[in-house]
Chains A and B, each alone.
Chain A
Amino acid sequence: MLEFFQWIEDSGLGIYIREDPWGFAIALSVHAIGMGVAVGVVIVTTLRGLNVLKGLPVVAFSNLYPVAWTGFFINLISGLALYTSHATEYSYQWVFGLKLLLILAGGLLLKLMIDSASVNGEGAGKTKLLALLSLISWLGAILTGRLMAYF
């Protein structure tokens, strides 16, 4: 596996992001914008599911799902670019593995929360629980992502 990660790191993209003075900085900036967009929509949607924010029904936020997906794909691409630059290092970081799991869990829980809101309503116990778990997962993804710089 290490050889594969090394091959990724030695790719043109990996070298560019790592060695160009602005490569990593630009990829990070794009990653911050995508995070704000994707997790921003997640935060308002889950806080509505938790009944913290009132007024708009959860279904109103469905109008922002294409925007959230755009943010997600911006971060998938910028994240892959960042990953190639230090593939051998990141692949063995437990916080990075945990981050990917939390994104997966956060996405699935969000889907379940949205479904529960349309069936059971915003204030229902099941909706609130799923909203809370999804929110925690996404905030955990931010935390573990930021901690990659410390491990």
Chain B
Amino acid sequence: MNDFLNSLPDTWMGRFAVENFWAWPLLENLHFVGLCALVGGLLVIDLRVIGIGPPKNIPIKPAMNLIPFVMIAFSINLVTGLFFVCANPSYFDNIAFQWKCALMVLAGANALWFWFGEHTKLSNLPDGVDTPMSAKVIAAGSLALWAGVIVLGRLLPYF
């Protein structure tokens, strides 16, 4: 395992991130833009599902069409994040990074639960109709988990 981690800085991803002085800030910016896009897509879906206040009025079926957009945003951050990890594998020893990964696994499981347990039912729900409690719990969990991921990511340099 240690050999594997030690080999990461020599991969082209690790070298690219370290050897070009503009690569790190560029990747950071892409990571921030991906973060915003991910949150934007999730807010449309999750706040509609939670159904408190004005977001309840968002038509639910087209809102569900944002799921691929959210996946693209996540992919941007997965790829840019891989560059950071390859350049600096010591992140794996960072407690904030470990928790960040754990929350992302939970967020992924939560998303699968949403996709297989709720997505079809919700897509057939007429506009303005309240969603089942199970879906609300998943949606609130999604927002809470991703907020945790963002905070832990921002705190990485402090651990």
Contact = CB atoms under 8 A, between A and B. Distances in A.
A54 B62 CA distance: 8
A39 B73 CA distance: 13
A35 to B, nearest CB: 6
B92 to A, nearest CB: 21
Contacts of B56: 63
B47 interface: yes
Nearest to B24: A150
Contacts of A67: 43, 47, 55
A25 B33 contact: no
Interface stretch (A10-18, A40-48, A83-91, A101-109): A40-48
Nearest to B40: A40
Contacts of B59: 56, 60
A118 interface: no
Given A28-B154, A56-B63, A40 B36 contact: yes
Contacts of B65: 53-56
A56 B40 contact: no
Nearest to A36: B39
B109 interface: no
B43 A142 contact: no
Contacts of A54: 62, 65
Contacts of A63: 54-58
A85 B63 CA distance: 41
A33 B147 contact: yes
Interface in B34-63: 35-44, 47, 53-59, 61-63
A64 B32 contact: no
A25 B41 contact: no
A77 interface: no
A66 B54 contact: yes
A28 B44 CA distance: 24
Contact of B28 (A36, A37, A55, A146): A146
Interface of A: 22, 25, 28-29, 32-33, 35-37, 39-44, 47, 53-56, 60-67, 139, 142-143, 146-147, 150
Query: Which 4 pairs of residues, A with B, have the shortest CB-CB distance?
Result: A40-B40, A55-B62, A36-B39, A40-B39
Interface of B: 25, 28-29, 32-33, 35-44, 47, 53-59, 61-63, 65-66, 69, 147, 150-151, 153-155, 158
9 contacts: A32-B153, A32-B154, A36-B36, A39-B40, A40-B36, A40-B41, A60-B57, A63-B54, A63-B58
